[in-house]
Amino acid sequence: MKQVLPCEAENDVAEHCLLMERKFFGLTMADIMSLTYQLAVKNRIKNQFCKRNGKAGRKWLECFLHCHPQISVRTPQGLSLSTAKGFTPESVAQFFKYMNMQWTPLNIILQDFTIATKPASLLYSTNTQKY
């Protein structure tokens, strides 16, 4: 497939994926396709991405992953009930204290604790150990 984005832009997308993964915020394939479309539009790069969906195509993503073997697609494990019960404001505060961060449990909004049957696939560094 013909390269759509310049090498610099594609490398920036790859680096962004890895940065977000290091910050424990894995991006889905849809996130990457949407971000790439926005990057191309904002930088006025000619492309054949779908304007209706506002995303780069699936073929582009496959080529991107092939050209950047340091990034892989994984499906994270679901959250067990015992892990969800252990995720309390006290345990979160202890984590941030251990990590020497300035966050407190009041800064964290704990959302719905429903357990997803099938989590979305995320993009990770291939150097990262699978959990």
Contact 14, 68 (CB under 8 A): yes
Which among 13, 112, 100 has a CA at the least distance from the CA of 55?
Answer: 13
Query: CA–CA distance from 59 to each of 40, 54, 56 (Å)?
Result: 16, 15, 8
Contact 17, 32 (CB under 8 A): yes
pTM listed for this prediction = 0.60
Domain positions in the chain are 7-74, 81-115
User: Rounded to the nearest 10 degrees, how much is the dihedral formed by the CA atoms of 115, 119, 123, 127?
Assistant: 60
Decide: residue 52, CB within 10 A, 0-12 exposed, 13-18 middle, 19+ buried. exposed
Note down pLDDT in tens along the chain; length 131 residues: 567 788 888 899 999 988 888 887 888 888 999 988 888 888 888 888 878 888 888 888 898 889 888 988 887 777 677 676 777 778 777 777 776 665 555 554 444 444 444 556 666 677 765 54
**Helical pair 58-67 and 29-42, crossing angle rounded to 10 deg:** 100
